[in-house]
Amino acid sequence: MLFKKRGTFTEEDAKKVIDWMGTHPEEKELIVMAERATAEAKRRLWDYARAIKLMADMTGENRSVRVEILEGFVSERVRGIEL
């Protein structure tokens, strides 16, 4: 799923994204498009992806979430969830 944020993507925004992803376990990708992203927000998203992989390994599932953070230009043409 693609999340778009004009301005700085903060740790609070990362919490909102993780909450949304928690209600949609079928999603395999987490893409954030923002002008800037704080180090704390990036770390929170990467920790979420590692936690999903760890829990899947412990339960014997084959589940993972790919996290990609795109910084710079935020396109109007690309559809995604606005934060």
| pLDDT tier for residue 76 given thresholds of 50, 70 and 90 | confident
The range of the structural domain enclosing residue 40 comes to 2-82
Q: What is the pLDDT of residues 11-35, one digit of tens each?
A: 999 999 999 999 998 999 999 999 9
pTM: 0.87
Determine if residue 19 is left, alpha or beta; phi over 0 gives left, psi from -120 to 50 gives alpha, anything else beta: alpha
The arrangement of strands across the sheet holding 2-9 comes to 66-71, 29-37, 2-9, 81-82
Mean per-residue pLDDT over the chain, rounded: 94
The values of phi and psi at residue 61, to 5°, are -85, 165
Overall domain count for the chain: 1
